[in-house]
């Protein structure tokens, strides 16, 4: 059973979301250039959207995909635990959470896009 979602983009998180968008990491800014305006297989992505109390880096709601980019801070034991709890909640809510180290966005962006594309729902009319 999926946990209840307390709406997307909760008003009390608006300031946090805006701040995160305004202060994107270089990896987030780079990936956003590749995802925005439905550039990846016509799929709409949003950045820094909230799901319950969590703000995710990128989300594609139609396919229930979340992309998280991890920098050095995500190697810390406490952060790893928090990320695992967060991912578990989001997965139970029906989302596929994909995590990539920032370096992959710069070193091999096609790999990142290819991995994301694997989780797009297939249109039954094209089979």
DSSP string, 49-104: EEETTEEEEEEETTTTEEEEEE-GGGGSHHHHHHHHHHHHHHHHTTPEEEEEEHHH
97 conformational bin, left if phi > 0, alpha if psi -120 to 50, beta if neither: beta
Which pLDDT tens digits describe the chain residue by residue (127 residues)?
Answer: 554 555 566 566 666 656 666 778 899 999 999 999 999 999 999 999 888 888 899 999 999 999 999 886 556 788 889 899 999 999 999 999 999 999 999 999 999 999 999 999 876 554 4
At residue 105, φ and ψ (nearest 5 deg) are: -65, -35
Token pair recorded at residue 7: 């709406």
Per-residue pLDDT at 52: 85
For domain 11-43+53-117, give the CATH number: 3.40.960.10
Per-residue pLDDT at 122: 77
Classify residue 42 by its DSSP letter. T
| Residue 21 · residue 48 · CB < 8 Å | yes
Q: Domain extents for the chain?
A: 11-43+53-117
Classify residue 9 by its DSSP letter. S
Per-residue pLDDT at 8: 66
Question: How far is residue 91's CA from residue 94's CA, in Å, rounded to a whole number?
Answer: 5
């Amino acid at each position: 059973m999926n946990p209840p979602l307390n709406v997307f983009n909760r008003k009390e998180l608006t300031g946090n979301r805006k701040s995160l968008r305004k202060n994107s990491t270089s990896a987030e800014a780079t990936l956003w250039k590749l995802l925005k305006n439905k550039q990846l297989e016509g799929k709409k992505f949003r950045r820094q959207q909230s799901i319950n109390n969590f703000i995710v880096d990128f989300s594609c709601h139609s396919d229930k995909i979340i992309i998280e980019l991890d920098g050095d801070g995500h190697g810390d034991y406490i952060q790893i635990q928090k990320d695992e709890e967060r991912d578990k909640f989001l997965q139970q809510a029906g989302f596929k959470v994909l995590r990539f180290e920032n370096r992959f966005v710069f070193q091999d962006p096609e790999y990142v896009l290819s991995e994301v594309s694997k989780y797009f729902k297939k249109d039954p009319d094209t089979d």
